Amino acid sequence: MMLVISVVLGIVPLLGVAWIVLHGNIGTVDGLFMSLILLPLSGILFLNAFLDMRGRLKARTGTKTAASPLANRTITAPGIETAPQLPHHKVKIKKAGQRACNEKNEKGKFCGGHLKRWFYSVDLIEQDCGDAEQAWGLDAEVYRCEHCKTLYLPHPGESVVNVAGQGQISVFGLTVPPKAS
């Protein structure tokens, strides 16, 4: 339904531009600016229709891979120490409350880079590689060090997606208490 609406609403601005051209108003300031407004509007609506169609075709023909249980948080036992390694990435499991990378470099010093949520499905370099999507599916919770690019799976005992941690309620009473999950 959204696809049809996008196509129909994308055609309407083109008809408006055709009407402006047929009536010879394209040479006026009003006609020119109206055309410049209608053409991007039509382009945006057709882009929406294209992306919708591409998503439907990808969902229909795409094969879903089984995601790692750690990335989906289906494993809750804290006894897991090692993560399954990928061919082109070093993979570790975050410790409880860990926010910085603990990987050692060649001199034996800790990297110390911040762990940031990594959306590998939109990373162009990772799309060429494809290891993470093949191992964990499309939208798993994965963190990556900003310096050494080591990947971290979430700690099995933590249920919060926030890298910064739980946080605290303000002593002034201005902070809204967290929602009950």
Beta bridge partners of 153: 93
- Residues in Cβ contact with 131 at an 8 Å cutoff, skipping those fewer than 6 apart: 86, 87, 88, 89
Q: Which amino acid is at 51?
A: L
pLDDT given at position 62: 63
Helix (H, G, I), strand (E, B) or coil at 61: helix
Q: Could you give the CA distance from residue 49 to residue 73 in angstroms, rounded to a whole number?
A: 34
Q: Could you give the CA distance from residue 34 to residue 26 in angstroms, rounded to a whole number?
A: 9
- The residue among 135, 140, 138 whose CA lies nearest residue 88 is 135
pLDDT given at position 19: 93
Per-residue pLDDT of the chain (181 residues; tens, 9 = 90+): 788 898 999 999 999 999 999 998 888 999 999 999 999 999 999 998 998 888 888 777 765 555 555 555 554 444 556 777 888 888 988 888 888 898 888 888 888 889 988 888 787 777 788 888 888 887 788 889 988 988 988 887 776 555 555 556 556 656 666 667 6
User: What are the angstrom distances between the C-alpha of 34 and each of 9, 22, 43?
Assistant: 16, 14, 14
Domain ranges of the chain: 2-61, 67-165
- Residues in Cβ contact with 127 at an 8 Å cutoff, skipping those fewer than 6 apart: 121, 133
Q: What is the pTM of this model?
A: 0.48
pLDDT given at position 40: 94
pLDDT given at position 70: 54
